[in-house]
Amino acid sequence: MALTIKRWLTQAKTLVNQIDAELILTNVFKAADRTYLVTHEESVLSDKERQTADRMLSLRTQHVPLAYITGEKWFYGHKFKVNPDVLIPRPETEVMVDLAVRLYGDILKKKIETFDLLIKQKFGAIEPSWPDNPVIKEEYARLKTEIMSPVLIFEVGVGSGCVSVSTALACPNAEVIGIDISKEALKVAVVNAAQYKTKNLHLTSGDLLSNVKDDAPAPDILMANLPYVDRAWEWQSPEIEYEPVVALYAEKNGLELIYKLIRQVRKKWAKLFEEKTLHQKYLILESDMSQHEKIIRYAKRYGFKYVGNEGLITCFEY
């Protein structure tokens, strides 16, 4: 008997929730969205389509995350390739990108204001009213290069690249550098970066900041969604068992890597901290809300100023 989209969905919904069933078929038919299933509910599945849909449904009943079954996940308005080598992008992490984009705008505005003020102080007028003076033009170009350099953004622990790619797309005048210790994860991130042609994003391997040169400038924004799950937590979803251990768990109640990153930033750019003034440099961390208080206390010990938090995201300035 022919099996229509409507009938397959009716049967599937007895095994998984409605949205999962619909997303499985949407993927099978390579449809733009679930609306296709409504407008084509009497369409008959071919044998191949049915086999694919049934296989995906079977995996879902075993709690395999849907993103791993379909090989994709939406994040910040973009579709990303994912596989079991990377953590599945969470909507809660989009707050990190939102914050980075806002700070990027603030930093860029400050750069422009500083540049305009310096030009007026030096030459008494902005560019359009200058005489054709090669000396002035050369000095103008030098100052522009020095002050108006791209906003430098690091992400430590890129995984699928969803945060770095989304940030690079939203901040075209930024230079984004994504770092990950997992070469397998970086392969996925490279595919996603290529998909969106993010020319202002550079991906590299490294253990946190260990491979960043000692004389490298401090990033204006440093984002990190590091492993922070404590193995003792008993409330985790069974689906988490399918995600890469290296991207999930950390020792010391889940805080080991976050603490290590805080120490690395303090040591690598010690001169900034010694100046006892804020430099409009930001550290953005994701962690469980139950960990925020400990992270804030620890960061303050190393000279960071707590700016605020939203959801899972905590922000510091230094």
pLDDT for 68-84, tens place per residue?
999 999 999 999 999 99
For residue 128, the model assigns a pLDDT of 53
Q: What is the DSSP string of 33-44?
A: STHHHHHTTTPB
Contacts of 176 (CB under 8 A, 6+ apart): 153, 154, 155, 164, 167, 168, 198, 200, 201, 202
Q: Give pLDDT, residue 164.
A: 99
Q: Considering just the CA atoms, what is the radius of gyration of the chain in Å?
A: 24
Distance CA 82, CA 74 (A): 10
Give the right CATH number for 91-317 from 3.30.70.2470, 3.40.50.150, 3.30.470.20, 1.10.260.40. Answer: 3.40.50.150
**pLDDT digit string, tens, across residues 53-67:** 999 999 999 999 999
Does 127 have pLDDT greater than 70?
Answer: no
| CB atoms near residue 161 (< 10 Å) | 32
State residue 52's pLDDT score.
98
**pLDDT band with cut points at 50, 70 and 90 for residue 139:** confident
Q: Is the pLDDT of residue 238 over 90?
A: no
Could you report the per-residue pLDDT of 211-229, keeping only the tens digit for each? 999 999 999 999 999 999 9
Q: Across residues 296-305, what is the average pLDDT? A: 98
Residue type, 169: L
What letter would DSSP give residue 225? -
For residue 136, pLDDT over 80 is answered with no
Q: What 3-state class would DSSP assign to 213?
A: coil
